[in-house]
A and B are shown apart, each in its own frame.
Chain A
Amino acid sequence: MVLNIRTMADYLAKGEMPEYLFWVGCAGSFDDRQKKVTRAFCEILQKAEISYAVLGTEESCTGDPARRTGNEFLFQMQAMTNIEVLNMYQVKKIVTACPHCFNTLKNEYPSLGGTYEVIHHTELLAQLLKEGKIEISEEREEIAFHDSCYLGRGNGIYEAPREIISQLQKDLKELKSCRTKGLCCGAGGAQVFKEPEPGAVDIQVKRTEEIIESGVKKVAIACPFCMVMIQDGLNKTGHDKDIQVVDLAELVQKAMK
C-alpha cells in the first residue's frame, strides 16, 4: 500500500484539521523493527479512512525516559517544548503506539499545561474492528499476549489488546504472569538505555521463558520497548527462529483484506 502521510503543518497550510494526531514516538521513528509497526498502523488508518497527521520533524521525545531516571529538568524541558507545539496546532486527540509516550502525554502533560484526549493504538484498533471499519480475513492460530506495564497496570488497558486478538478470530493463550500480574520485559524505567544492574538472569530472559513454556509460535506485544526486549530474550535463549514477536498493529494489518 502506498502511504500518504501528512504532517500537522500540511493540514494547517490548507486550513484543515485532522481528527487525530498520530504521535509516532522515537522508537516508531528511528528503530528499524518498530518502523514497520508504524507503517502497519498507518496502513490501517488509511484503509479505515481515519483522518490523521503526524508532527514529523516537529515531534520530540516526550521526556519519559529522562523523568523515570530522575532527570526531572530534562523531562520538563521536553514536556514544555512539546506542549507548546501541540497547543499551537490546537491538538485535541492523540493516538500513539507507545505505552510510554501514551502514559506521559495522557497522565503527565496535563499538570504542565497540555491536556488532550490520548488513546493507545490498541484502543483505536479494537474500536475499528468492533465497528467493522476494517475487513479482515480469518486465519486461526494460537497467540500469546504480553501485557505492557504502562498499558496494563499503569493505565488499566487489559481488554483492548485481547479484544483485537479475539476479533481477528485468533486463540489467545494467556501467559503464566498476565494482566495485573504481568511480568515486566525489563525495559521500563529507562533500563533499556543502560546495561542491567548485576543479577542472576536478565529480566527479558525470564519473561521469554514464560513465553517459551506457553508453547506458542507467536507472541503479540503493544509496546516498542517490549518488542526490543522480548526479541532480545528470544535471541538469547535461541528461540528467535521458532517464536515470532509481532505488534498488534502488524497482526491487524496482515489480516486486513
Chain B
Amino acid sequence: MTYFFQFLFIALLASMSYLIAMRFKGILATIRLSQPIQLSDQPIERWKRVFLLAFGQKKMFQKPFVGLMHFLIYIGFILINAEILEIILDGILGTHRLFAPFLGSLYPLLLNFFELLAAGVFLACLVFFARRGIFKVQRLQSENHSELKGFPIRDAYTILIVECVLMAALWTMNATDAVLQSRGVEHFQAVGSFIISENLIPFLDSYSTDALFLIERIAWWFHIAGILGFALYVTYSKHLHIFFAFPAAYYSSLKSSAYIPSLDSVTHEVKLMLGQPASGEAAPTNLRFGAKDVMDLNWKNLLDAYSCTECGRCTDQCPANQTGRSLSPRKIMMDTRDRLEEVSVILSKNKGQFVDDGQSLLDKISGEELRACTTCQACVEACPMELSPLNIILELRRYQIMEMSDAPAAWNSMFSNIETNQAPWKFNPSDRMNWTKS
C-alpha cells in the first residue's frame, strides 16, 4: 500500500513537472519569435533593481498597507515553499517529516514560523478579497474596466480562494498530525503541536484515529497536489509574475522613461536619403516598420506582457483613461499576452513554426486607443515592476503611421509643416527670429 502511494506521488510529481515545463517551453518559444534588444549592460545596476523592485518590492510600498499585505503573501509563498522540499521527499520516499530528526529542536521552531507565515497569507488574502468585493477598489472592478471582464476577474478570485484553502490544508495537516502523535500512533513521530494549528485540535480530538489518519492524508495530498496544480495554473494566470518579476526587473530599462530608441532600419534609409555613409547600420532584416503583431515587438515587451499582474496602477494613473478615453495601459499588456497565448497555440500545432492565422495584435487594439496616449509615462512610473505599456503603444503607433498611413488629417498637416516649414505649424521659416523684434 505504501508503495502504491509512493508510486502515485511520483507519477503526479512527474506529470505535473512535465506539464509545467512544457508551458514554460511554450512561453519561451513565443518570446523567441521577437525582435532583439540589448539589455545586458551595467549588471550591477540591474542586480540592484532585482533586489529593490523584485525582492524588496520597493514600489509596492508606495501604498504602504497594500504593500505590507502583498509582502505577507510573497514572503509566505517563498518561505513556506521551502517546506515543499520535505513534502516532496516524504512523498517519494514514503517517509513522514523526514527532516525532523535532522533539525532537532529547530524543526518545531521552523514549523511554528511557517504556520505564522500561513496566517499572514490567509489574512492578506482576506484583505484582498475585501478590497475587491466589499470596498470595491475602482481599478480592480470589471464594471469600470472592461478588460477585466470574464477570465481576468475569475482568475483573481480563484487565486485568493486557492491560497486560503492551501493554508487551511497546511493547518489541518499539522493539527491532525499533532492529535495522532499524542495518541502514539506509529509513523507519527513526536514533533509537538504548532502555534496556529493547535487551536484546531479540540475540533479534531473527538474523531477516531482512523478518521484522523484519513483527514491527515487528505490534507497532505490536497496541499501538495494543490501546490503543483497551482504552479501549472499560474502559467496561464496573471500570477505568472511570481516567476517573471525577477527577469523583468533585471532587464528593465535603465534609460529615461521618455527615451524612445531609434529604429535602425529607418536610420539606414534616412542616411541613404541624406547621402550620408550608412555602413554603421546593418541593412534592415525586419522589413516591417513598427509593430503589427507580437513578433514585431522586442523580447522585453513580451516578457513585460507575461509579467503583468493586471493590478491596474498604470490605468489608474493614465490621464487618457481618467478622462474617459478608450485607452487603458493594462489592456495593452493583457491584449499582448492574449495574442501571445494564441501564437503559442499556433506554434505547438505547427511544430514550432509560426503560421499566419490572419490575426494580429492590432485586431485587439484600436487606432483610437493608440492615438489617445499622451506619452506622459505615468503608466511606466506607476508600475511596481517598471513594465512599459508605453513602449508597446509606441511600436504599434509606428506601424499605424508608417505602414498603414493611418493618421488624423491634423497630424498629416503637422508632418508636412515640419517637412516644409521646419516647424509643426505653418509659419514661414524665415520668420523664426521675429520674436526678437517685440
Chain A residues, Cβ within 8 Å of B263: 72, 76
> Could you tell me if A206 and B368 are in contact, using CB atoms closer than 8 angstroms?
no
> Could you tell me if B262 and A76 are in contact, using CB atoms closer than 8 angstroms?
yes
B351 at the interface (CB under 8 A from A): no
- Contacting chain B: which of A28-36, A130-138, A214-222, A247-255? A28-36
A200–B256 Cα gap in the complex (Å)? 31
Within 8 A of B (CB), among A78-104: 78, 80-81, 103
Chain B residues, Cβ within 8 Å of A149: 258, 374-378
- Contacting chain B: which of A13-21, A58-66, A159-167, A238-246? A58-66
B326 at the interface (CB under 8 A from A): yes
A111–B396 Cα gap in the complex (Å)? 22
Chain B residues, Cβ within 8 Å of A71: 401-402, 407, 415
A71–B424 Cα gap in the complex (Å)? 13
> Could you tell me if B258 and A107 are in contact, using CB atoms closer than 8 angstroms?
yes
By a beta-carbon cutoff of 8 Å, the part of chain B in contact with chain A is: 255-263, 266-267, 269-271, 273-274, 276, 289-290, 317, 319-320, 322-327, 368, 371-378, 380-381, 394, 396-402, 407-408, 410-411, 414-415, 418-419, 422-425, 427, 429-436
> Could you tell me if B319 and A186 are in contact, using CB atoms closer than 8 angstroms?
yes
Can you list 15 A-B pairs with a CB-CB distance of less than 8 A? Answer: A26-B423, A66-B415, A68-B375, A68-B394, A73-B402, A103-B256, A153-B376, A180-B381, A181-B381, A183-B319, A183-B378, A193-B424, A194-B371, A197-B320, A198-B326
- Min distance, Cβ B163 to any Cβ of chain A, angstroms: 31
> Could you tell me if A189 and B256 are in contact, using CB atoms closer than 8 angstroms?
no
> Could you tell me if B323 and A203 are in contact, using CB atoms closer than 8 angstroms?
yes
> Could you tell me if A35 and B270 are in contact, using CB atoms closer than 8 angstroms?
no
> Could you tell me if A74 and B419 are in contact, using CB atoms closer than 8 angstroms?
yes
A67 at the interface (CB under 8 A from B): yes
A77 at the interface (CB under 8 A from B): yes
> Could you tell me if B324 and A108 are in contact, using CB atoms closer than 8 angstroms?
no
Chain A residues, Cβ within 8 Å of B255: 107
> Could you tell me if B397 and A69 are in contact, using CB atoms closer than 8 angstroms?
yes
A80–B261 Cα gap in the complex (Å)? 15
B-facing mask of A132-169, CB < 8 A → 1, else 0? 00000000000000000110011110000000000000
> Could you tell me if B317 and A70 are in contact, using CB atoms closer than 8 angstroms?
no
Chain B residues, Cβ within 8 Å of A187: 374
- Min distance, Cβ B209 to any Cβ of chain A, angstroms: 60
- Min distance, Cβ B117 to any Cβ of chain A, angstroms: 32
> Could you tell me if A197 and B372 are in contact, using CB atoms closer than 8 angstroms?
yes
A153–B374 Cα gap in the complex (Å)? 13
* 4 cross-chain pairs, A with B, having the tightest CB-CB distances, nearest first: A154-B258, A200-B324, A70-B397, A70-B401
A79–B256 Cα gap in the complex (Å)? 19
- Min distance, Cβ B430 to any Cβ of chain A, angstroms: 6
Chain A residues, Cβ within 8 Å of B376: 149, 153, 184, 188-189
- Min distance, Cβ A214 to any Cβ of chain B, angstroms: 18
A5–B411 Cα gap in the complex (Å)? 33
A1 at the interface (CB under 8 A from B): no
> Could you tell me if A80 and B271 are in contact, using CB atoms closer than 8 angstroms?
yes
Chain A residues, Cβ within 8 Å of B371: 194, 197
Chain A residues, Cβ within 8 Å of B319: 183-184, 186, 203, 206-207
Chain B residues, Cβ within 8 Å of A69: 397, 401, 407, 411, 414-415
Q: Give me 19 other A-B pairs in contact (C-beta within 8 A), A61-B422, A72-B402, A108-B262 excluded.
A: A29-B427, A30-B435, A38-B435, A56-B433, A57-B432, A61-B418, A61-B424, A67-B260, A76-B266, A77-B419, A80-B276, A112-B267, A184-B319, A184-B378, A193-B411, A194-B408, A197-B372, A198-B326, A203-B319
- Min distance, Cβ A23 to any Cβ of chain B, angstroms: 12
> Could you tell me if A30 and B425 are in contact, using CB atoms closer than 8 angstroms?
yes
A108–B380 Cα gap in the complex (Å)? 18
Most buried by B among A56, A71, A111, A112: A71
Chain A residues, Cβ within 8 Å of B430: 57
- Min distance, Cβ B262 to any Cβ of chain A, angstroms: 5
Given contact pairs A70-B399, A74-B415, A153-B381, A29 touches B394 in the complex (Cβ within 8 A): no
> Could you tell me if B425 and A26 are in contact, using CB atoms closer than 8 angstroms?
yes
A39–B438 Cα gap in the complex (Å)? 9
Given contact pairs A38-B435, A197-B368, A68 touches B414 in the complex (Cβ within 8 A): no
B408 — nearest CB in chain A belongs to which residue? A194
A73–B268 Cα gap in the complex (Å)? 10
- Min distance, Cβ A30 to any Cβ of chain B, angstroms: 5
A229–B270 Cα gap in the complex (Å)? 33
> Could you tell me if B423 and A153 are in contact, using CB atoms closer than 8 angstroms?
no
A71–B400 Cα gap in the complex (Å)? 9
- Min distance, Cβ A190 to any Cβ of chain B, angstroms: 7
Given contact pairs A195-B408, A197-B368, A70 touches B290 in the complex (Cβ within 8 A): yes
Chain A residues, Cβ within 8 Å of B290: 70, 72
A60–B255 Cα gap in the complex (Å)? 26
Chain B residues, Cβ within 8 Å of A7: 433
B-facing mask of A202-216, CB < 8 A → 1, else 0? 110011000000000
> Could you tell me if A72 and B266 are in contact, using CB atoms closer than 8 angstroms?
yes
Within the complex, which residue of B276, B289, B380, B422 is in contact with A72, where a contact is CB–CB below 8 Å? B289
Chain B residues, Cβ within 8 Å of A26: 422-425
B-facing mask of A112-142, CB < 8 A → 1, else 0? 1000000000000000000000000000000
Chain A residues, Cβ within 8 Å of B401: 69-71
Chain A residues, Cβ within 8 Å of B373: 189
> Could you tell me if A3 and B394 are in contact, using CB atoms closer than 8 angstroms?
no
Chain A residues, Cβ within 8 Å of B396: 70
Chain A residues, Cβ within 8 Å of B435: 24, 28-30, 35, 38-39
- Min distance, Cβ B73 to any Cβ of chain A, angstroms: 25
Within the complex, which residue of A73, A112, A194, A197 is in contact with B269, where a contact is CB–CB below 8 Å? A73
> Could you tell me if A206 and B410 are in contact, using CB atoms closer than 8 angstroms?
no
A241–B424 Cα gap in the complex (Å)? 29
Chain B residues, Cβ within 8 Å of A72: 262-263, 266, 289-290, 398, 402
> Could you tell me if B326 and A30 are in contact, using CB atoms closer than 8 angstroms?
no
- Min distance, Cβ B197 to any Cβ of chain A, angstroms: 44
A40–B320 Cα gap in the complex (Å)? 33
- Min distance, Cβ B42 to any Cβ of chain A, angstroms: 16
Within the complex, which residue of B257, B324, B380, B394 is in contact with A199, where a contact is CB–CB below 8 Å? B324
A99 — nearest CB in chain B belongs to which residue? B258
> Could you tell me if A30 and B423 are in contact, using CB atoms closer than 8 angstroms?
yes
Chain B residues, Cβ within 8 Å of A155: 256, 258
